[in-house]
């Protein structure tokens, strides 16, 4: 049974995060201390330095050789189940489309594990929770966020190809219009030659379209790789994991100069990330930008569907007791920020993910406390 001391410990760990967020919100919305350009500069610093260094620090300090295989398997199984279910819905339902596949996957499977999850679950389950959550952070950063970016690029490529085909059709020189009321019983030699030209033109256009679609796949992969190479979070996760593998294998310590240089920036990463989130909330015209109905759907996907599928996945791979509870609670964390950044960049239902981030963050503490309490009964 959860005691008052347990609740107090969780509140002590998480309330300061909300203080940083509220201060940032008030500084923009009411006190007008920061201009949009200054907010953009703060957000840029957080994205390029604070979060990557915080991620590197967390990953490099945890032993990858103590990886919990079943937890990782449950996380992967949850993602595959959700992805297959959404793909089936998109295929079979007239309301489904590719945009909803990407958005639904992001909402239900990609929580804010690094910024909110680590301090919150550490307060609930102790230091061992950090080691477990870092494993999920690595997967999310290196695999699942990359998958979302790949899906976004595929969607953008499909839209571009469709626009090209419509453009080609609208100006096609081989288009033939037939008036049913003015049909002639005779076909002259010139008309036969004209039909041959039209058929040849259509064949050339079909071949060109097929070639364009084949080349699109290669272009998508190149674009994704370039964006990954420009993303500092890719390097922070990769180098953090590499250093952890080396240091724990050969019992090496990071040189103090490098360790201090990283920690002086990463120590403020958590607070700056929450401050940046408050700035983002203040910059939005509405807390719920997608309307009440879509807000309810987004929150249900994040706080109900995601944890429910994770519970099934965790049980299926054999997680029990505290590990099962941990897996479910981490799946009930608020919406991750990276999927919203992608949605905004590619213009794919960004208003829904924006609402998921803002409203989800506001109600995350009571919801995770409710899961924490109910699972301990």
pLDDT one-digit tens code per residue, 15-55: 898 999 999 999 999 999 999 999 989 988 888 888 888 88
Instruction: Label residue 143 left, alpha or beta by phi (over 0 means left) and psi (-120 to 50 means alpha).
Output: alpha
Which residues make Cβ contacts (< 8 Å) with residue 291, sequence separation at least 6? none
Which residues make Cβ contacts (< 8 Å) with residue 292, sequence separation at least 6? none
Q: Which of 170-174, 219-223, 226-230 has the lowest mean pLDDT?
A: 170-174
Q: What percent of the chain has pLDDT over 70?
A: 86
HSE on the CB side for 145, CA within 13 Å?
Answer: 24
Which residues make Cβ contacts (< 8 Å) with residue 180, sequence separation at least 6? none
Query: 224-240 burial, b for 16+ CB within 10 Å, e for fewer?
Result: beebbeebebbebbbeb
pTM for the model: 0.81
- Whose tokens are 């960004």? That residue is 350
More confident residue, 2 or 64: 64
Average the pLDDT over 131-143 and give the result.
89
DSSP, res 349: S
Q: Which of 32-41, 101-110, 174-183, 336-345 has the lowest mean pLDDT?
A: 174-183
Closest by CA to 46, choosing from 250, 201, 272, is 272
**Mean pLDDT, the chain, as a whole number?**
85
DSSP, res 96: -
* pLDDT surpasses 80 at 201: no
More confident residue, 201 or 152: 152
Closest by CA to 319, choosing from 3, 77, 115, is 77
Q: Which two tokens stand for residue 172?
A: 């096609």
Closest by CA to 333, choosing from 360, 300, 312, 297, is 360
Tell me the sheet residues that pair with 335. Answer: 111
Q: How confident is the model at residue 180 (pLDDT cuts 50, 70, 90)?
A: very low
Which residues make Cβ contacts (< 8 Å) with residue 145, sequence separation at least 6? 110, 233, 338, 339, 342
pLDDT one-digit tens code per residue, 293-340: 999 999 999 999 999 999 999 999 999 999 999 999 999 999 998 898
- Whose tokens are 């590719």? That residue is 98
Measured between alpha carbons, how far is 242 from 56 in angstroms, rounded to an integer? 10
- One DSSP character per residue, 352-377 reads HHHHHHHHHHHHHHHHHHHHHHHHT-
Tell me the sheet residues that pair with 111. Answer: 335
R_g of the chain, CA atoms, integer Å: 26
DSSP, res 318: T
Measured between alpha carbons, how far is 214 from 219 in angstroms, rounded to an integer? 9
- Whose tokens are 């937890």? That residue is 71
* pLDDT surpasses 70 at 113: yes
- One DSSP character per residue, 124-161 reads HH-THHHHHHHHHHHHIIIIIHHHHHHHHHHHHHHHHH
């Amino acid at each position: 049974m959860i005691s008052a001391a347990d609740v107090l410990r969780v509140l002590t760990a998480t309330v300061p995060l909300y203080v940083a967020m509220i201060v940032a919100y008030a500084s923009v919305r009411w006190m007008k201390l920061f201009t949009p350009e200054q907010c953009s500069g703060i957000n840029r610093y957080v994205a390029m330095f604070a979060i990557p260094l915080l991620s590197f620090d967390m990953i490099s300090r945890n032993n990858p050789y103590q990886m919990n295989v079943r937890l990782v398997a449950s996380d992967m199984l949850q993602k595959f189940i959700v992805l297959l279910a959404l793909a089936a819905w998109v295929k079979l339902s007239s309301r489904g489309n590719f945009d909803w596949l990407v958005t639904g996957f992001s909402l239900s499977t990609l929580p804010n594990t690094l910024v909110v999850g680590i301090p919150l679950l550490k307060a609930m389950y102790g230091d061992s929770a950090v080691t477990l959550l870092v494993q999920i952070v690595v997967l999310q950063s290196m695999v699942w966020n990359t998958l979302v970016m790949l899906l976004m690029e595929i969607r953008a490529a499909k839209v571009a190809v469709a626009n090209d085909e419509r453009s080609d059709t609208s100006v096609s020189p081989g288009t033939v219009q037939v008036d049913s009321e003015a049909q002639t019983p005779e076909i002259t030699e010139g008309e036969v030659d004209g039909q041959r030209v039209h058929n040849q033109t259509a064949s050339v256009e079909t071949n060109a379209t097929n070639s364009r679609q084949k080349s699109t796949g290669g272009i998508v992969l190149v674009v994704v790789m370039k964006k990954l190479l420009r993303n500092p979070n890719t390097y922070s996760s990769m180098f953090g994991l590499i250093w952890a593998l080396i240091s724990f294998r050969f019992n090496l310590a990071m040189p103090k100069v490098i360790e201090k240089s990283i920690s002086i920036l990463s120590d403020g990463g958590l607070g700056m990330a929450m401050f940046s989130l408050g700035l983002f909330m203040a910059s939005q015209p509405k807390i719920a930008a997608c309307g009440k109905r879509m807000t309810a759907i987004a929150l249900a996907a994040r706080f109900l569907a995601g944890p429910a599928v994770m519970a099934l996945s965790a049980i299926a791979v054999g997680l029990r007791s505290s590990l099962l509870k941990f897996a479910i609670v981490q799946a009930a964390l608020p919406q991750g920020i990276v999927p919203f950044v992608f949605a905004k960049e590619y213009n794919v239902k960004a208003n829904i993910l924006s609402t998921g981030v803002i409203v989800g963050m506001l109600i995350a503490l009571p919801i995770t406390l409710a899961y924490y309490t109910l699972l301990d009964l």
